[in-house]
């Protein structure tokens, strides 16, 4: 198992294709009605693929003599910064790492500000909130303690935290039934480990901060998570109760600045087509339809992941050596190791690269760099 530039590129291309395909499928109503809940399998393979941008022992290498070769030559081209000479690839690697560090620092600052804000908040004491939580816990067969806080800065209810979950409530005047809807929704997020999924998405966004596909993937996962919880919560609802639940969501959809935290899932943060789709799934409730198709979709997803890691396209640096000689003179010819393979120098003139040492180069000296040649002379 090895991480290489081309294995990373192959991972990014395959993940982008999978993500765009999932986004297109989610926009089709028929998809939601037939295989909606099983999209989770497809999303899981995208996440796993992005976490494994490597080539394995069984990976088959395909050669590219054009685009990848030119791209790799560009990455290995020299860039000068004063007295320092580095490659373009090293510059991009530095920018990537610096951006990821910056993304981590931004989230740390946001988290500290968010925690300080919560420390100034009081408990939410409207209605008998503890009785409602105990009743919902009993329905779920759980006994986790949830702290409920009144957070005036919030525009919509949310759940926050992993070990010590907090349900954050805005200054809305909710009825007891609406509180049952909201608390049931947020507690289900916690019990379904959606907070862990949220954290994993944030990690991907930090690592691939420059990749818009990853941010699209995060939005898709957030949409699927909300629909899944909504449909599970309302599975046994009558039409009247569904209407009341939808009205509760609309009541919580307030515009305005919202405190930010990577460890928070909000009750009604989506807008536009995403919210319309969410309402449709709640009303029709085809999301939880069961059948043998789930097995086949899971199997297809695993096969797709296997295919995506089974092939890698590598730049081909093989060259045609001029036919003016059979064996280069070892006194004036040599090889220099490089990321591209071996640079070939014939009569001290650069000819090109070879990927492997074959005839007629087997008798030539191999050097780490040109400085070694100078020192030996």
Tens-place pLDDT, residues 2-23? 787 778 888 898 899 999 988 9
The β-bridge partners of 32 are none
pLDDT range class, residue 106, cuts 50, 70, 90: very high
Q: What integer pLDDT is reported at residue 25 of this predicted model?
A: 84
Tens-place pLDDT, residues 25-72? 888 777 777 777 788 888 988 999 898 888 887 878 776 666 666 676
Structural tokens at position 9: 């590129």
The three-class DSSP label of residue 2 is strand
DSSP string, 72-117: HHHHTSEEEETTEEEEHHHHHHHHHHHHHHHHHHHHHHHHHHHHHH
Q: Which residue has the tokens 């525009």?
A: 155
Q: CA triplet 89, 94, 95: central angle to 5 degrees?
A: 95
The whole-number average pLDDT for the span 97-101 is 96
Least confident residue range of 51-60, 106-115, 240-249: 51-60
CB 168 within 8 A of CB 261: no
Q: What integer pLDDT is reported at residue 128 of this predicted model?
A: 85
Q: What integer pLDDT is reported at residue 291 of this predicted model?
A: 63
Question: Which residues, in sequence order, are CB contacts of 192 under 8 Å at separation 6+?
Answer: 228, 229
Neighbours of 61 (CB within 10 A): 12
pLDDT range class, residue 321, cuts 50, 70, 90: very low
pLDDT over threshold 50, residue 241: yes
* Between residues 368 and 308, the one the model is more confident about: 308
The three-class DSSP label of residue 366 is strand
Least confident residue range of 129-143, 182-196, 245-259, 316-330: 316-330
Q: Which helix (H) or strand (E) holds 9?
A: helix 5-26
Structural tokens at position 79: 């860039």
Q: What integer pLDDT is reported at residue 246 of this predicted model?
A: 94
Tens-place pLDDT, residues 358-376? 777 777 888 877 666 655 5
* Between residues 65 and 173, the one the model is more confident about: 173
339: closest CA among 311, 362, 369, 313? 369
The whole-number average pLDDT for the span 283-311 is 79
The DSSP code for 313 is: E
Q: What integer pLDDT is reported at residue 326 of this predicted model?
A: 57
């Amino acid at each position: 198992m090895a991480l290489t530039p081309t294995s990373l590129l192959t991972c990014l291309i395959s993940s982008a294709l999978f993500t765009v395909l999932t986004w297109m499928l989610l926009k089709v109503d028929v998809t939601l009605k037939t295989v909606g809940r099983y999209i989770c399998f497809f999303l899981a393979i995208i996440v796993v693929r992005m976490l494994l941008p490597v080539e394995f022992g069984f990976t088959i290498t395909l050669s590219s003599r054009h685009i990848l070769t030119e791209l790799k030559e560009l990455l290995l081209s020299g860039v000068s910064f004063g007295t320092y000479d580095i490659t373009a690839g090293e510059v991009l690697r530095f920018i990537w790492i610096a951006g990821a560090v910056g993304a981590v620092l931004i989230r740390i600052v946001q988290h500290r500000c968010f925690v300080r804000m919560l420390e100034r908040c009081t408990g939410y004491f409207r209605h008998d909130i503890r009785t409602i939580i105990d009743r919902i816990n009993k329905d779920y067969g759980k006994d986790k303690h949830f702290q409920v806080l009144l957070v005036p800065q919030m525009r919509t209810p949310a759940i926050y935290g992993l070990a010590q979950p907090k349900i954050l409530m805005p200054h809305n005047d909710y009825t007891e039934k609406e509180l049952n809807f909201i608390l049931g929704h947020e507690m289900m997020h916690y019990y379904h480990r959606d907070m862990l999924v949220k954290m994993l998405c944030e990690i991907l966004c930090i690592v691939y901060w420059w990749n818009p596909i990853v941010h699209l993937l995060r939005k898709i996962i957030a949409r699927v998570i909300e629909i899944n919880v909504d449909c599970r919560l309302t599975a046994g609802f009558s039409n009247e109760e569904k209407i009341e639940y939808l009205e509760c969501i609309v009541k919580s959809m307030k515009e305005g600045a919202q405190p930010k935290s990577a460890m928070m899932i909000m009750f009604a943060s989506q807008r536009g087509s995403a919210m319309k789709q969410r309402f449709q799934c709640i009303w029709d409730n085809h999301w939880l339809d069961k059948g043998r198709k789930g097995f086949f979709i899971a199997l297809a997803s695993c096969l797709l992941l296997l295919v995506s890691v089974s092939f890698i396209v590598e730049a081909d640096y093989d060259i045609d050596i001029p036919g003016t000689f059979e064996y280069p003179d070892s006194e004036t010819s040599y090889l220099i190791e490089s990321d591209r393979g071996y640079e070939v120098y014939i009569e001290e003139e650069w000819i090109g690269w070879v990927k492997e040492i074959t005839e007629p180069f087997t008798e030539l000296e191999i050097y780490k760099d040109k400085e070694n040649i100078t020192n030996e002379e």
